[in-house]
Chain A
């Protein structure tokens, strides 16, 4: 079964509102999680590295004030898309690194992804 869970799997929101996506590691602790975005027929693009207890590290070109990342516990990271616009519609995927070896040390596990549609 899944070891990284994302919620919601699909969400539709109105333009201008904010939406939160959760990423949970189910059977291990993750000091590091990653958020990716995938547009249709494009590669997964790394948006940011989420670090437990500290600020996220954003990739070049990703607006940190628009894509808020919070990693408040060792099993949960959240991505909040603020003031969403239709161009933010995409498939968002998280991954988590098994920090302690509960499953397999340093192995990265992916969530099932979340479809965001902004109307």
Chain B
């Protein structure tokens, strides 16, 4: 089947620290991979995506590389800001625009 696994638990870090959120997937075929972000009180927003192996998605200083060999799509940012505090969801697409999501990770950036 199609599923996405994100690392457990919230992530708390200081401003300007390096952020990594792990994401691995199981899929039939070669899905597109996504990171969505949800700020407090708002809907999910697409942060970045990658459509094939070795593609790197990037946006707002965030990056993720589609690794077929490790079935991973880890999210990274070199220097986080307080405004990056949000919930981050990893997702894959499978047929007719349907999405399978991970559980999400709450990121809290402390000034």
* Contact surface of A with B, Cβ cutoff 8 Å: 2, 4, 6, 32, 34, 36, 41-46, 49, 93, 95, 97, 106-113
Chain B, 93-111, CB within 8 A of any chain A CB: 96-104
* Option from B44, B96, B97 in Cβ contact (under 8 Å) with A110: B44
Complex contact A43–B46 (CB within 8 A)? no
- Interface residues on chain B, number (Cβ under 8 Å): 18
Complex contact A106–B97 (CB within 8 A)? yes
Looking at chain B's contact residues, the main secondary structure is loop
Decide yes or no: A32 and B42 within 8 Å by CB, A43-B4, A43-B103 being known contacts. no
Complex contact A93–B43 (CB within 8 A)? yes
Task: Tell me, yes or no, whether B45 is within 8 Å of chain A by CB.
Answer: yes
Contact indicator per residue, chain B 84-96, by CB within 8 Å of chain A (1) or not (0):
0000010000001
Complex contact A93–B98 (CB within 8 A)? no
Complex contact B98–A43 (CB within 8 A)? no
Known: A110-B45, A111-B43. 13 other contacts (CB 8 A): A6-B43, A32-B97, A42-B103, A43-B102, A44-B89, A44-B101, A45-B101, A46-B99, A95-B99, A110-B43, A110-B44, A112-B43, A113-B43
